Amino acid sequence: MVAKINTGSSLYGAIFYNQRKVAEGSARVIGGNRTIESAGGDTENAIQRTMFAFEPYLAANKNTEKPILHISLNPSPEDSLTDAQLEQLAADYMEKMGYGDQPYTVYLHEDTGRRHIHIVSTCVREDGTKISDTYIHRRSMDACRELEEKYRLKKIADKGEELTRAYLRKADHKKGDLKRQVAGILKSVFSSYKFQSFGEYSAMLSCFNIEAKQVRGEHQGVPYNGIVYLVTDDKGRAVSPPLKSSLFGKRFGHDGIEKRIRWNASEFKKGNWQPKIKNQIALAMADSGGRQKKFINLLKAQGIDTVFRTNDEGCIYGATFIDHNTREVYNGSRIGKEFSANAFEKLFNDPGQSPFEAPHRDRHHGQEQASTIEQLFGMFDFGADGPPPEEQDEDEMMPVRKKKRQYKRKINL
């Protein structure tokens, strides 16, 4: 089980998020402590009833900046727990974390392909004192391990992997509820995959049968940019009407994606992450024999998806690689000029112009093999400190031109 603890200042925001899900039919109130259960009815009235239980606690301490707790408990999709068991699981967790006597409401969410619970509470006691959050994440991990034993839940080693694994399946239009399917995938890939352009973002989503399109226009003389999403089949053909990004939240719209792109690009330039798949791509190019399908399958077997973009004549004008192992997305030219669209166009569609040939494989000549490939491609990188200087961004390699001083002639009249 994975627990995520968020603190905030807005009680209304935390309750509204969950109660809105209740109103939409994708969540239910399954329990709580010292609160009035808001299982149905008008959303605003339900929110007010829930907030009423917290008022004495929040009024007693107005100095704590973030007194609101919003906790999610995520058992593995392979775990099968009843509503009653999930309610007791929440109570046990809150007790172990020191919040057992606090007011809290437990919501069961079923909108992302897995059953998980959200708990809204406060870290401020009724007498105004604040419950200590020292080593809160370590204590949370210990509590999860104990509860895994008690409820015989699957033990989880990788928190990030577990939170996204269940959602990273292809969208299937035959299963219906496309909004929920798309929402689950977007939430998972947006925060876990690194991309530096809209093209890379769109190519990544295509691996999950989702197409992202930019929409530009003008409304009352004011230009606007927007994003729509479509579900596709396995051949990339749209099988759903366009879904506006506003259905899923601001961060999946134009401004939100641009913000994420700027952040990822900044981290890339700082060297915080670099391509690690250069060697695999080079080997696949050598072993493909100039056959595009074989090249794609060789990389797919290693957890790397390849997306080629072609024009009406079938010429390749774009190549993107999605490394699902590191969750990084790269246009080929970002990895190196040897992996640009033009290189693949020559490799697959103009073999006579391609110098690539698969080297002889022999278990007794592993060193010769690597040397041969290196000579053929000139692009192997066996170092661990990122790309060599000759593969830096072209912008960084450009010499800085000194500005010429401009002199203005003074004219006396």
DSSP-assigned states of every residue in 214-247 = EEEEEETTEEEEEEEEEEB-TTS-B-S--EEGGG
Span(s) in the chain for CATH 3.30.930: 2-165
**What pLDDT score was predicted for residue 99?**
97
The residue whose two tokens read 């134009």 is 254
Q: Kindly give, in sequence order, each residue whose CB lies less than 8 Å from that of residue 30, ignoring residues fewer than 6 positions away.
A: 83, 86, 87, 106, 107, 108, 117
Whether the predicted model's global pTM rises above the 0.85 cut: no
**What pLDDT score was predicted for residue 364?**
43
Instruction: Give the whole-angstrom CA distance, residue 226 versus residue 116.
Output: 32
**What pLDDT score was predicted for residue 168?**
59
Q: Which residues of the chain fall short of a pLDDT of 50?
A: 160, 162-167, 355, 357-413
Mean predicted lDDT score pLDDT of the chain: 81
Tell me which fold the domain 2-165 belongs to.
BirA Bifunctional Protein; domain 2 (3.30.930)
Instruction: Give the whole-angstrom CA distance, residue 288 versus residue 213.
Output: 32
Sign of CA dihedral 294, 295, 298, 301: negative
State the pairing for strand pair 210-219/104-109.
unpaired
Burial state string for 294-304 with b = 16 or more CB within 10 A and e = fewer than 16? ebbebbeeeeb
CB 185 within 8 A of CB 168: yes
**What pLDDT score was predicted for residue 360?**
43
Give the bridge partners for 231, in sequence order. 210
Q: Kindly give, in sequence order, each residue whose CB lies less than 8 Å from that of residue 51, ignoring residues fewer than 6 positions away.
A: 11, 12, 15
